[in-house]
Amino acid sequence: MTSLGDYPFGAKYDSRAPYNSVENPEIEVELDVWVTLHKTIKVKTSDYQIVDEGSDELGYYCEIDYSNCDFTSDIEGEIEDSLPTSSWKIDEYDYSVIND
């Protein structure tokens, strides 16, 4: 009687058997990665228009219009300072004014 080498009967050369599977060698793959991040920031600007201001029974009020403001350079600087390395590239971004 011959030895089966501790394999179940008929499984010694079965490629589907888990003990006969061969793992592929690890290779390096280059990927493009898109990541969406969100961060609330504060920037200083003088690029706004005062629409209405005055005083009432609650005190001083001021209505400011930010619709024509250009925050581009402030935002790009803040984003670049926040990224972990310079290998990240900013493709596009969007913003909204919170204290409007």
Exposure string (b/e) for 16-35, b if CB count within 10 Å is 16 or more?
eeeeeeeeeeeeeeeeeeee
74: exposed, middle or buried (Cβ count in 10 Å: 0-12, 13-18, 19+): middle
| Structural contact between residues 43 and 71, judged by C-beta atoms closer than 8 angstroms | yes
Summarize pLDDT for 5-26 with one digit per residue, the tens. 677 777 777 777 777 677 889 9
Summarize pLDDT for 57-93 with one digit per residue, the tens. 889 999 999 888 888 887 877 777 777 766 777 777 7
| Structural contact between residues 43 and 98, judged by C-beta atoms closer than 8 angstroms | no
| Structural contact between residues 13 and 20, judged by C-beta atoms closer than 8 angstroms | yes
Summarize pLDDT for 16-57 with one digit per residue, the tens. 777 767 788 999 988 887 777 777 888 888 888 999 989 888
